[in-house]
Structure 1
Amino acid sequence: MEQETTEISKDYIGMWVTKDGNIRHELLPNNRYDEARGNRKSAYQGDYTIIGNHIDYKDDTGFTADGEFKNGILYHAGMVFYKEN
């Protein structure tokens, strides 16, 4: 089986959105993120680290989570995000 090519971390910077647009997850170039939920802007903010296709999050309250980028899609906490152009 051919091993997948690791995508470049800078390609992940930008806005990621659930299909229904309810959750908007912006990965900023300074390794910070800002997540909006519904009409609630900046519902969650914190730091992120990307190694290969794996992302680790730590929000400003200390909560941690992780996710995986696969084929241009972000899988995070049971949700699926698509990158906005």
Structure 2
Amino acid sequence: MSGSTNTTKLRRTLTAAVLMTIAGTAQASETETAMTDHPYVGMWVTEDGHVRQELLPNGRYDETRGTRQSAYTGRYEIDGNQIQYWDDTGFTADGTFVDGVLHHGGMIMYREETAR
């Protein structure tokens, strides 16, 4: 009976894990679909081009500093004109979009197609 009980528990655990994965994938897909058309998704760059930050439609960001690709990566959320970052290394940051310009961490960043 013990082997049967363990098998049943394992099946329940695996079933729960599969369902959670499916739910998480569906939720991530919905988030990505919702963000695809968001006006702030895309590449943001400092005037000198040293910092390039891509806001991806899946709620992730990837920031390049000089020649150091993916210097910072993590997730972000946008609420109105405010952006909040949660870096994969554990720190948080924020920023504000003002008249199509991103003010973040003491930097001023422009959409790539309008970089100065």
TM-score, with normalisation over the residues of structure 2? Answer: 0.65
Segments of 5+ residues of structure 2 without an aligned counterpart are: 1-36
Given candidates 82, 97, 115, the residue that maps to 1:69 is: 97
Q: Which runs of 4+ in 1 moved over 4 A?
A: none
Tell me which of the two structures has the higher relative contact order, counting C-alpha pairs closer than 8 angstroms and 6 or more residues apart. Answer: 1
The DSSP-based 3-state class of the residue aligned with 2:90 is coil
**Distance between the aligned counterparts of 1:24 and 1:77, measured in 2?**
13
1:49 partnered with 2:94: no
Say which structure is richer in helix: 2
Given candidates 48, 51, 73, the residue that maps to 1:23 is: 51
Segments of 5+ residues of structure 1 without an aligned counterpart are: 1-8
Aligned CA RMSD, in angstroms, stands at 1.0
Number of matched residues? 77
Say which structure is richer in strand: 1
Q: Equivalent residue for 1:35?
A: 63
